[in-house]
Structure 1
Amino acid sequence: MAANNVKSNIESIARDAGAAIMDIYQSDDFDVKKKGDDSPLTKADLAAHNVICDGLRKLDTQYPIISEESSDISWEQRKHWCRYWLVDPLDGTKEFIKRNGEFTVNIALIEKGVPIMGVVYAPVLDAMYTGERDRGAFLNGKAVSVATKEPDTLRVVGSRSHPSQETIDWLDALGKPYEIVPMGSSLKICLVAEGKADIYPRLGPTCEWDTGAAHAVLSAAGGQVTTVTGDPLLYNQKEDYLNPHFIAR
């Protein structure tokens, strides 16, 4: 189990990355480029990536790092890893470009395919979500947990930038009243973790770095993330980084 001082160090690294992002967010020069999958990349993504990787490499305990911006690591190499850091330096780049504040810094510690510690930091909101296995989940130091009772009307977190008709069809098939709570980035899973939403069905493409840190927070808050068939969502179990469709609840 990761020690408390490690979690504190990761929170500090996330704050430093958030500060680097905010320096660019408050400027007029995002330097937006397109990656191979046509998703946007900005100077802020790269600045946060550098801050996080530099910070993780300075820790006393050294683990390999997978970051969205440096993920070209062979399966032959990483399939033997027991523990590693999984990083999304800036999740919600589209929200960043829109300047709506719904973007996050994400750092997770993965052990044998399971997120055991995670930090999600939203710098505009100054919201620091942390979760650690067997130690609980917190928002800015205050304990949070999932909702314990299912309401008459389900509060469903939906993507602000990636609406999905397949998701609407899945919800309609539940036969239960629901309301959509729109949110960007990994904050969607965090809303479930703090009890402000009941479920987040993701029936669209995501990668492991998009979910790892928030998954750890939700697990520590008493929730779960499963595939649509009910199996646990696991990490670093195959050659590519794509997640299957999943349900966070």
Structure 2
Amino acid sequence: MSLPTAHLPPHLSLLAALADAALKAGEVILRIRAEGLTVNAKADQSPVTAADLAAEELLRGELARILPGVPVIAEEAVSQGKGEAPSRTFLLVDPLDGTREFVGSSGEFTVNIGLVENGVPTHGIVLGPAVGKLYAGAVTGTASAAFAAGPVADPSSWSPIHCRPMPERGIVAVASRSHPDPGTEALLAELDIAERISCGSALKFGLVAEGRADIYPRLGTVCEWDVAAGHALVRAAGGSVRRPDGTPLPYGRTAESYRVTGFVARGAAT
């Protein structure tokens, strides 16, 4: 498709292009899902399908065109020992976040694209192709913007979103549907939780970014491509994503196999 980006500032033009790439990957995923699935196991016993592989291949081609020369750190390539080395600017891609939701009955799976610059996620796309949700956010210099939209890549039709101020009481928390862990449960037990929402994949970041939830803690181990897109989105919406101890969340850690040993996404500081 031809994107109307000529009149847009650079950060929105790039967001539109990244959103278009994600939407193309989402179409591939839904087509393969409709045709029937064969689920295989990777070396770590996590599930992988033809949709994961096809979406990642498509995204690699699209991202090479959008940001030529920028390394792409993508889940399936890394699992096969083919990951590129990160540089000061690189992309983190999860072509199908929430494979368990994908192979089950839930539509709560996403395509995640995060751009990291100087160690900080600056642009993020989180697409839920089966639920028709597209989140996009960017933070560049003094400009920041976060959006929720239907499945379109035209920012002129997107609706701005913002985190709400983080309350001390009556907190709305969002947590993983498929991956509960004791650390997360212990953290939530210390808070005055008024409502708890269970949700799959990176859609949880979207709930914080649009002010429907105040906090999303995950103290179990995930990978950088699970987090970067949502991190950029929440930042752009006025919130934060940090380690459980409050320190910045690092990226590009090849020596740790891109493992993230916990994070907490929060709404806007009061």
Sort the TM-score into its range (normalised by shorter chain): over 0.9
Q: Which position in structure 2 is the counterpart of 1:128?
A: 134
Q: Do the aligned residues in 2 keep the contact of 1:106 with 1:120 (CA within 8 Å)?
A: yes
> What do the CA deviations read for 1:112-165 (whole angstroms, capped 9, x no partner)?
111000111110111110000023100011000101252732111111001123
- Amino acid paired to 1:190: G
Q: Which position in structure 2 is the counterpart of 1:143?
A: 160
- Amino acid paired to 1:150: P
Change (3 A) 1:149 1:6: closer
- Amino acid paired to 1:206: V
> What do the CA deviations read for 1:19-59 (whole angstroms, capped 9, x no partner)?
0000012122x110001111100111011101100111122
Q: Distance in 2 between matches of 1:50 and 1:99?
A: 25
Q: Which position in structure 1 is the counterpart of 2:264?
A: 247
Q: Do the aligned residues in 1 keep the contact of 2:206 with 2:230 (CA within 8 Å)?
A: yes
Q: TM-score, normalised by structure 2?
A: 0.85
Q: Distance in 1 between matches of 2:161 and 2:32?
A: 31
Q: What percentage of aligned pairs have identical amino acids?
A: 40
Q: 1:95 Cα shift?
A: 0.4
Change (3 A) 1:153 1:243: same
Q: Distance in 1 between matches of 2:167 and 2:220?
A: 25
Q: Which position in structure 2 is the counterpart of 1:219?
A: 235
Q: Distance in 2 between matches of 1:245 and 1:154?
A: 20
Q: Distance in 2 between matches of 1:10 and 1:172?
A: 38
- Structure 2 unpaired stretches of 5+: 1-8, 150-157
- Amino acid paired to 1:131: G
Any idea what SS the aligned residue of 2:234 has? helix
Q: Which position in structure 1 is the counterpart of 2:59?
A: 52
The equivalent position to 1:230 in structure 2, one of 241, 246, 250, is 246
Q: Which position in structure 1 is the counterpart of 2:74?
A: 67
Q: Do the aligned residues in 2 keep the contact of 1:2 with 1:117 (CA within 8 Å)?
A: no
Q: Distance in 2 between matches of 1:91 and 1:218?
A: 17
Q: Do the aligned residues in 1 keep the contact of 2:173 with 2:193 (CA within 8 Å)?
A: no
Cα RMSD (Å) = 1.8
